[in-house]
């Protein structure tokens, strides 16, 4: 489903456009070329922090004491005071909104003990994501050799970050005062101008160094269609925004997404349960199954199920009972686990006796 090169004219070193739901590539230009990505590396910094909260290793309310090293970071910053304590969610917000290098290092030191150890975790997480052309040397994106990524890998990282509701809360803030414990305030301005100028823009991350040029990874949604666009190495700030906007326009003009089963929704089929008061139950999709097609083309998608007619108790809410599978022309393109929507405890001795007696009586 690759775009024809002449359909989009972009002035940048590399670009990538992806359907967010399915991961399908819609446009690519030098998408695997290894390039510096500047502050777009903070997408991974934020992702690891949110995952640390998920794992119970960090909480948004936690107070973090800022080291001399974190406070001394150059480049974009919120001027944290060394030795002062800040709430983790305030630090994370300043990374998402105004790309604060000092907050990145404070978070990295808290999560992993040091920026170096955190950086090793960033590289490990990149491998698990399938980001094969990525190497981080720090958590800020400030120039340091060797470090690089590529347009396709940045899209994979942003797609993963987008699963976090907290990120969406931060990414739509345009202007906000960052209040320090000592009474100072620093005004934060969102570096991603598209949240105000492009309809449906759902956040993103800018980057700039002399080596990287002007970079932007952003997401946008219209109707059911959600896409991620990455531009690396534009020659001006305006050009990165217009290049990403052009990719969004191209996506919404030429493609449409159809959702076949949404995460949390019940599948058409129910499943019988043996050995429990619960006789049958609904199963819900673990993640959304959707497909994107070029407008005007006939692509035949179908939703099928791998699901037994019945299962034996006990069943716990959330147990995997089968799979829903999306196929195109008979070939599997995606699948999701189907989860039990409730508990189905085994019969007690008395219930089993009564059930047996009922069958014997009717037999």
* Residue 343 three-state SS: coil
Nearest Cα neighbor of 31 from 50, 6, 5, 53 is: 5
* 171 is a catalytic site residue: no
Tell which CATH architecture fits domain 262-362.
Sandwich (2.60)
For each of the chain's 363 residues, which pLDDT tens digit applies?
444 445 788 999 999 999 998 888 999 999 999 999 999 999 999 999 999 999 999 999 999 999 999 999 989 999 999 999 999 999 999 999 999 999 999 999 999 999 999 999 999 999 999 999 999 999 999 999 999 999 999 999 999 999 999 999 999 999 999 999 999 999 999 999 999 999 999 999 999 999 999 999 999 999 989 999 999 999 999 999 999 999 999 999 999 998 899 999 999 889 999 888 888 899 999 988 998 889 888 778 899 999 888 888 899 999 999 999 999 888 898 999 999 999 988 877 666 667 665 655 554
Q: What distance lies between CA 211 and its chain's CA centroid? A: 27
* Residue 183 three-state SS: coil
Domain 5-256 matches domain 262-362 at the CATH topology level: no
Going by their DSSP bridges, the two strands 255-261 and 301-307 should be labelled as unpaired
* Residue 37 three-state SS: coil
Catalytic residue, candidates 39, 245, 290, 293: 39
Structure-block tokens of residue 122: 């960033």
> Can you tell me the distance from the alpha carbon of 49 to that of 60, in angstroms, rounded to the nearest whole number?
10
CATH superfamily of 5-256: DD-peptidase/beta-lactamase superfamily (3.40.710.10)
Catalytic residue, candidates 67, 94, 99, 257: 99
pTM of the model: 0.86
Q: Where do the domains of the chain lie?
A: 5-256, 262-362
Q: Which residues are paired to 255 by β-bridges? A: 294
* 39 is a catalytic site residue: yes
Report the 10 Å Cβ neighbour count for 120: 13
> Can you tell me the distance from the alpha carbon of 31 to that of 231, in angstroms, rounded to the nearest whole number?
9
Report the 10 Å Cβ neighbour count for 283: 25
Catalytic residue, candidates 29, 42, 193, 205: 42
* 293 is a catalytic site residue: no
The widest CA-to-CA distance across the chain, in whole angstroms, is 84
DSSP notation for 191-233: S-THHHHSTTEEEEEEEEETTTEEEEEEEEEETTEEEEEEEEE
């Amino acid at each position: 489903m690759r775009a024809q090169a002449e359909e989009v004219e972009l002035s940048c070193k590399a670009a990538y456009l992806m359907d967010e739901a399915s991961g399908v590539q819609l446009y690519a230009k030098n998408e695997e070329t290894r390039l510096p990505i500047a502050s777009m590396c903070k997408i991974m910094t934020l992702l690891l922090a949110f995952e640390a909260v998920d794992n119970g290793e960090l909480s948004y309310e936690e107070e973090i004491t800022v080291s001399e090293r974190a406070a001394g970071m150059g480049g974009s910053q919120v001027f944290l005071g060394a030795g002062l304590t800040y709430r983790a969610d305030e630090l994370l917000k300043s990374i998402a909104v105004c790309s604060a290098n000092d907050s990145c290092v404070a978070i990295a030191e808290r999560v992993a003990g040091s920026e170096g150890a955190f950086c090793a975790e960033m590289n490990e997480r990149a491998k698990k994501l399938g980001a094969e052309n990525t190497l981080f040397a720090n958590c800020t994106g400030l120039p340091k050799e060797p470090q690089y990524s590529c347009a396709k890998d940045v899209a994979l990282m942003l797609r993963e970050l987008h699963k976090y509701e907290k990120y969406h809360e931060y990414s739509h803030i345009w202007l906000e005062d960052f209040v320090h414990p000592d009474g100072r305030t620093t005004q934060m301005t969102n570096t991603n101008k598209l949240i105000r100028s492009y309809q449906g823009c759902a956040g993103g991350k800018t980057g700039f160094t002399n080596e990287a040029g002007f970079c932007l990874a952003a997401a946008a949604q219209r109707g059911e269609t959600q896409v991620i666009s990455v531009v690396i190495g534009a020659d001006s700030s305006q050009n990165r925004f217009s290049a990403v906007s052009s990719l969004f326009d191209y996506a919404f003009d030429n493609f449409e997404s159809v959702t076949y089963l949404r995460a949390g929704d019940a599948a058409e089929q129910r499943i019988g349960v043996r050995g429990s008061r619960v006789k049958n139950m609904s199963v819900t999709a673990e993640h959304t199954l959707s497909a994107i097609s070029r407008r005007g083309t006939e692509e035949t998608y179908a939703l099928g199920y791998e699901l037994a007619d019945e299962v034996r108790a006990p069943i716990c809410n959330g147990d995997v009972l089968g799979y829903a599978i999306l196929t195109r022309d008979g070939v599997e393109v995606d699948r999701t686990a189907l989860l039990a929507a409730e508990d189905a405890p085994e019969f007690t001795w008395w219930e089993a006796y009564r059930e047996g007696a009922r069958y014997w009586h009717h037999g």
